[in-house]
Chains A and B, each alone.
Chain A
Amino acid sequence: MPKLTIDGREVEVAPGTTLIEAARRLAIHIPHYCYHRGLSIAGNCRMCLVEVEGVPKMMIACHTQAADGMVVHTDNDKCREYRAAILEFILVNHPLDCPVCDQAGECKLQNYYMEHGTAGSRVDEDKVKKRAKAKQIGPNIMLDSERCILCSRCVRFTDEITHTHELGITERADHSEITLAPGAWLDNRYAGCVVDLCPVGALTDRDFRFKCRVWYLTAVDSICTGCARGCNITIHVNRDRPHKAGGTRVMRYKPRENPAVNQWWMCDAGRYSYKQIDHERVDSAAVDGRPVAVEQALDASAAALKRAAAAVAVLCATTATNEELFLARALFAGALGGHAAYLAPPQGEQDDLLLLADQSPNTRGAQEILGTEVRDPVGWVKAHGVKAVVVVGEADLTGLKAEVDHLTVIATHPGKAAAQAHVLLPGSVHAEVEGTFTNHAGRVQRLRVAVPPIRGAVETWRLLLELAGRLGHPFDFAFEDDIFAALASQLAPFAGLSHDNLGRRGALLGSGAPQPTEVV
């Protein structure tokens, strides 16, 4: 195992480790553009130049392998001088249109310039004008060739990750630019990732463009609800400036690195699914279609459930969190002596990168907590002699209302379930609660509150708690983590897990404790 010294600190790494990775082990950040841990090494931007003692030239840290006894300097005068020179070079033809550039605020060119850049450019020549300025190259992607620093990350992504090869670099020298392959359109399922990868504002997201400035956003860790993969994401929320984007609170999703789940990526279907958080929500309780206060609706629901005694059941969609599922089970199957089951999740397309056919984020959680899957709610209700049903989430319940005396639906969006309800309660979506989802592989992952429940709605777990109280079975849970603690103490696969020890990467069911997290 080679042992080397970086900035005076010793580190031992596996053979073949690059200097940039070895430095990362010591939490030393080496500036870079073209290097990305998820892609092959291109070594074209030269931003990562470091000094290796005994080597006459500066070496690129992203491609130089660590060797025994190497002495590396990443932050001496020579390195800083080279970095400033590289930046000056990269900026020769850069348009510097930060005021209209969506990347401003999260731009590696801006950041490194502030940290390492020189004062001004010494180039008197006119800047080379590229062909494409604000050109659409896919349904969601805009390309601005003038801002491109030709790091080739986007090209490598379409070559190595999606294998769709839509992008290439054409022309020579300072006329080089990113070009679509003849007849191609950047519309693969993961195209949005090139925007995340682009270190500058050359590739921007048409959906996000000009809605907001990135420094207005607050990032909250969460999980994508698009499919059972449970890609790790951050939800970017605009909390303080409600005049943007028509009052929409959530502005975008960005993938968050998790080597065990989604690496660095997420699919476009998931990426743009943020829109449903603020779109057409159920914002009022209703009894028989008449809007009423939530308390009244809860009273009406509780009265009907009481009348049905033990002939009650709860049917949960697999979009509910583990906490909500556990509460539903504890109340209906436990305290009331009725039934608890989950509704078969909707199926969609699947591919060999991330997207799974199961379009629910928590099917595995529902399997573990409720056990019974229901494909035909009407038949199931008949078979169990159920008189009153509570449905949590969206499902096709055609014919169910006629089969039972009472149907309460906790819904987030007007849909097939909400349309059937005797009592409709406005519930919460994943971005509005603390909680956990269990992904297809059994990884329990945390959700954090990004926004409060939309005006008029109440956290679904609170609605269930209120219902429990009104039915004479109050639970002693103050917050979501109390519910998870009870869940972990009662269900063996969850044993040992808690909201606190799940960390940012989650933990596998049955692992008892989270896996040690990798240094980032």
Chain B
Amino acid sequence: MEAVARKPGTVTPAGGVKRGPLTFWERVYVVEAARGVWITTVHFFRNMGYHFLHLVGLAKGRQAAVTVQYPEERRYLPPRSRTRHRIVRRDDGSPRCVGCMMCETICPARCIYIVAEEDPDPNIEKRPKRFDIDLGMCVFCGFCVEACPEDAIRMDTQMVDLAAYSRRGMILTLDQLLAGEPAGPVESINALGERVHG
């Protein structure tokens, strides 16, 4: 196998990798193809072997493959991952959103639709009558969360399975947004910073 070892690539100033020219054996192709089949076969039998051992209760400490067994198993998502939105409630259960339309304005995908109305309490004054987010168009940039002056919209539900059977089904309404829950106890940015950076 010595003859097919590739020359290492060189890193370009822009950070890309520039490959060296193909060797004779690489250009012959058949040898490289056979090597690929060999590698795949080795992985296959290794993983199958471990899966079999797991079935009979052995070698639990060794992982069989990098594949995550979704949906039974879920990958760890960092707490600040941007996931499905939710609207935060006040203590009395009403939406904290005041319909200021900052999120709607900033949204680069133009996928937030707000209609505001008068709140009966003059000290709150304004509230959303309709608040839809079209997840079919959302690019999960998180600008809406950044823009909100009331901390009323968050993307901390850790929900990433957002499939629907129709385009319309991708539109979240105010009720659905209010039903969202944070994945874990809500951590303040400062506490998070302390935990991560010590």
Please give the residue numbers on chain A whose beta carbons come within 8 Å of chain B beta carbons, in ascending order. Answer: 97-100, 104, 133-135, 209-211, 213, 215-216, 241, 243-245
In-complex Cβ contact of B125 among A100, A213, A245 (8 A): A100
**A99-B100, A215-B105 given as contacts; is B118 within 8 A of A210 (CB)?**
yes
13 contacts between A and B (CB under 8 A): A99-B98, A100-B99, A100-B124, A133-B122, A134-B125, A209-B118, A210-B126, A211-B116, A215-B105, A241-B104, A243-B113, A243-B130, A244-B115
- Whether the pair A133, B101 counts as a contact (CB closer than 8 A) is no
* Residues 91-137 of B at the A interface (beta carbon under 8 Å): 98-102, 104-105, 113-118, 122-126, 130
Which of chain A's residues has its CB closest to B101's CB?
Answer: A213
Residues from chain B with Cβ under 8 Å of A211 in the complex: 116
Q: Which residues of B contact A213 (CB under 8 A)?
A: 101, 105
CA distance A81 to B130 in the complex (A): 44
Taking A98-B149, A213-B101 as given, write out 4 further A-B residue pairs in contact, using a Cβ cutoff of 8 Å, ordered by the A residue number.
A133-B125, A134-B122, A215-B105, A216-B105
Which residues of chain B in 25-76 are interfacial with respect to chain A, using CB atoms and an 8 Å cutoff?
A: none
CB-defined contacts of A216 to chain B, threshold 8 Å: 105
CA distance A209 to B118 in the complex (A): 8
CB distance from A249 to the nearest CB of B (A): 16
Let me know if A100 and B100 touch, CB within 8 A. yes
In the assembled complex, the CB of A487 is this many whole angstroms from the nearest CB of chain B, namely 43
Contact of A135 with B99 at beta-carbon distance under 8 Å, contacts A99-B149, A99-B150, A243-B115 already known: no
Q: How far apart sit A227 and B102, CA to CA, in the bound complex (Å)?
A: 38
In the complex, what's the smallest C-beta–C-beta distance from A53 to chain B, in angstroms?
A: 44
Cα(A209)–Cα(B104), bound, Å: 17
Nearest 3 Cβ contacts at the A-B interface: A99-B100, A134-B122, A210-B116
The reply to whether A135 and B122 form a contact with Cβ atoms under 8 Å apart is yes
Residues of A within 8 A of B122 (CB): 133-135
CB distance from A353 to the nearest CB of B (A): 31
Q: Are A99 and B102 in contact (CB under 8 A)?
A: yes
Binding site for A on B (CB under 8 A): 98-102, 104-105, 113-118, 122-126, 130, 149-150
Q: Provided the pairs A213-B101, A213-B105, A215-B105 are in contact, do residues A100 and B126 lie with their beta carbons within 8 angstroms? A: yes
> Interface on chain A toward B: helix, strand, loop, or mixed SS?
loop
Residues of A within 8 A of B98 (CB): 99-100
Expressed in whole angstroms, the minimum distance between the Cβ of A128 and any Cβ of chain B is: 15
Which of B100, B105, B114, B118 neighbours the largest number of chain A CB atoms within 10 Å of its CB? B100
Residues of the B chain whose Cβ atoms lie less than 8 Å from the Cβ of A241: 104, 113
Taking CB atoms, residues of chain A closer than 8 Å to B117 are 210
Measured between beta carbons, the chain B residues less than 8 angstroms from A245 are: 115
- The docked-state distance in angstroms from the alpha carbon of A210 to that of B119 is 11
Min distance, Cβ A108 to any Cβ of chain B, angstroms: 19
Tell me, in angstroms, the Cα distance from A515 to B195 when the chains sit together: 72
Q: How far is the CA of A97 from the CA of B101 in the complex (A)?
A: 13
Measured CA separation A100–B119 after assembly (Å): 11
A135 surroundings in chain B (CB, below 8 A): 122
Taking the closest CB of chain A, its distance from the CB of B106, in whole angstroms, is: 11
Q: Which residue of A lies closest to B126 (CB)?
A: A100
Q: Are A210 and B99 in contact (CB under 8 A)?
A: yes
Report how far A244 CA is from B150 CA in the complex, Å: 22
Report the bound CA distance from A213 to B150 in whole Å: 17
- Bound Cα distance A134, B125 (Å): 7
C-alpha spacing A135/B123, complex, angstroms: 11
Chain A residues whose CB sits within 8 angstroms of the CB of B149 once the complex forms: 98-99
Residues in B whose Cβ lies below 8 Å from that of A209? 118
Nearest-CB distance from B32 to chain A (Å)?
55
Chain A residues within an 8 Å CB radius of B105:
213, 215-216
Q: How far is the CA of A135 from the CA of B124 in the complex (A)?
A: 13
State the Cβ distance, A406 to closest chain B Cβ, in Å: 46
Q: Which residue of B lies closest to A242 (CB)?
A: B113
Residues of A near B118 (CB, < 8 A) are 209-210
CB distance from A511 to the nearest CB of B (A): 45
A99 to B117, CA, bound (A): 13
Chain A residue contacts of B114, Cβ below 8 A: 243
Q: Least Cβ distance of A252 to chain B in Å?
A: 16
